[in-house]
Amino acid sequence: MKDNMDMLLKKALEADMEPSKELNNKVLESIRQKSEKTTKVKKVMRVPRVAAVMLAICCVAPLGVYAANKVMKKVFVTDHAISVGNPDYVDDAAIASTDENVEIENVSHEEGDGTVKWLTKDVETVNGYATNTYYAYKDYDTAVKDAGLDTWFNKAYENDGNVTYVVTETQDTVNKCINACFKYGEGSFFIAEEIMTGNVADDLTSSVQLQNTKNKRDYTATSGQVFTLVDQITNDGTEDITTTFVMVAYDDYYGYISFDNLKDEEIHNILDTIAPH
């Protein structure tokens, strides 16, 4: 069962680390072409591989009370990840290792109409073990309301392309994930907001796989919440590219925000508007 869950999350929870306005089209296209992206974030459930690692382990004491009484969890950084939880349960080498192949069967594609709020719906099975349902929405606000999930910000940002909502169902769990990219100044930021229900351990840890982590620093938002920022340095063959990551984890929610082509002052302004409700 563990192997099935690892494979499932590898496929279902993957996300681009360099989001753009074509993010959602790429996600849906990957369903049809079953292709691997050259850059991605990893997520997992136990010894996972995919866009963020979720291990059944004990969470560290919270940093403080968040807006709307949301209690945020402490973050730590390793060479290949930014994580929430107990460092003893995070295997940095395993997080950085190569993904294995998964078997995907496309089940259906459907166009939305006036009776639903989503634009398209794609269904697939993964390794014969789980079902992934991908919904595309016109904007973040519509997606979170239709999905019944928290809104992470106290102000509206301009979407950069459609928003993708993914529901991953197994015999034991249901994982809901919203991926959205927003324009900001001369750059952009991407969020992956997730929650898992069902037969899930009370003590989880979530990790986001990074490359060449640098410049770890903390920022205290106007809410009093302390956020840990870390840079990932990659190279496109001509120059170094810096992407800044922040994890968001409270209650049963976990996820991250990545910032591209934004200065720390701009990132701080965005973090000041985080108020899950």
Q: Write the pLDDT tens digit of every residue in 191-234.
A: 999 998 888 766 667 788 888 889 999 999 998 888 999 999 88
Closest alpha carbon to 253 in 71, 95, 130 = 71
Q: Which domain holds residue 11?
A: 2-271
Most confident of 51-55, 88-92, 115-119: 115-119
- Do residues 151 and 136 lie in contact, with contact meaning Cβ atoms separated by under 8 Å? no
Specify if 67 maps to a domain.
yes
Question: Residue 264 pLDDT > 80, yes or no?
Answer: yes
CA distance 236 to 123: 33
Q: Into how many domains does the chain fold?
A: 1
Q: What is the pLDDT of residue 3?
A: 53
Specify if 276 maps to a domain.
no
Specify if 127 maps to a domain.
yes
Specify if 175 maps to a domain.
yes
Specify if 147 maps to a domain.
yes
| Mean per-residue pLDDT, 239-243 | 89
DSSP 98: P
Q: What is the mean pLDDT of the chain?
A: 75
Q: What is the pLDDT of residue 54?
A: 34
Specify if 277 maps to a domain.
no
Question: Residue 238 pLDDT > 60, yes or no?
Answer: yes
Q: CA torsion, points 152, 205, 59, 233, in degrees to nearest 10?
A: -70
Q: What is the pLDDT of residues 4-60, one digit of tens each?
A: 554 444 444 444 433 443 444 444 444 333 323 223 344 433 222 233 333 322 222
User: pTM for the full model?
Assistant: 0.74
Question: Residue 86 pLDDT > 90, yes or no?
Answer: no
